[in-house]
Amino acid sequence: MLRRALSHCAIALFWLLHFLPLQILAVLGHGVGYLLYLLGRQRRTVVRINLEWCFPHLSEGERRQLAIAHFKTLGRSLLERGLLWWSSKERLDRLIRVEGADKIRSLLDAGTPVMLLAPHFLALDAGGVGIAMRFDSVSIYAAQTNPLIDKLLLRGRNRFGNQQLLSRQDGVRATVRAMKAGALEFLTKPFAEETLL
């Protein structure tokens, strides 16, 4: 019951924040991210170990600065979800740039299937919305542990065009079958999904 109430409060906050200019959201998001860095001991440890493995030549202080920058960007991406879920198409068109859309369109118009592989970086959902506003697609989706957030993410990803979201549990074959069926223009596949709340 408490978790559901907190989820509703978080969703209401995201909705209110989506009215703010992007620059203000960025500042607030960086603050939220820094708090996550300070309070998220377990996540901070995972990031610290990953940075040690990937950047052994950097000093501990340099890796700490990278970790803080990551958490700030994470906080910003969380707050910007409201933009993706509720902003108008016109506003999102101004905020999200898709490079190579003309090339994709020309390939599709020539009957050539297109597959995009997208690593799971913090701007994955923004990129997905940018693609969905321009093309119909099939993509793989990982269910979120919070049912309210899961429903909101699904609704947000289906706002534009004819999107088909397949469960990660359905496996790659279901995705390939959907693409071969030719019902939709191309496939976007994130390598992984993270739980928001």
User: So what's the pLDDT on residue 150?
Assistant: 85
Q: How many CB atoms lie within 10 A of CB 9?
A: 10
The model's pLDDT over 93-103, given as tens digits with 9 standing for 90+, comes to 999 999 999 99
Q: Is the pLDDT of residue 173 over 90?
A: no
User: So what's the pLDDT on residue 142?
Assistant: 81
DSSP string, 81-146: HHHHHHS-HHHHHHH---TTHHHHHHHHHTT--EEEEE---TTHHHHHHHHHTT--EEEEEPPPSS
Q: Is the pLDDT of residue 9 over 50?
A: yes
Please report, as a single letter, which amino acid is at residue 118. A
The model's pLDDT over 135-162, given as tens digits with 9 standing for 90+, comes to 988 888 788 888 888 888 888 888 998 8
User: So what's the pLDDT on residue 140?
Assistant: 80
Question: Which two tokens mark 192?
Answer: 């992984």
CA atoms of 140 and 189, how far apart (whole Å): 6
Q: What percent of the chain has pLDDT over 70?
A: 91
Nearest to 132 by CA among 60, 83, 84, 194: 84
Considering only CA atoms, give the Rg of the chain. 18
CA atoms of 69 and 51, how far apart (whole Å): 12
The model's pLDDT over 34-77, given as tens digits with 9 standing for 90+, comes to 999 999 999 999 999 999 999 999 999 999 999 999 999 999 99
- The predicted model gives 115-129 an average pLDDT of 83
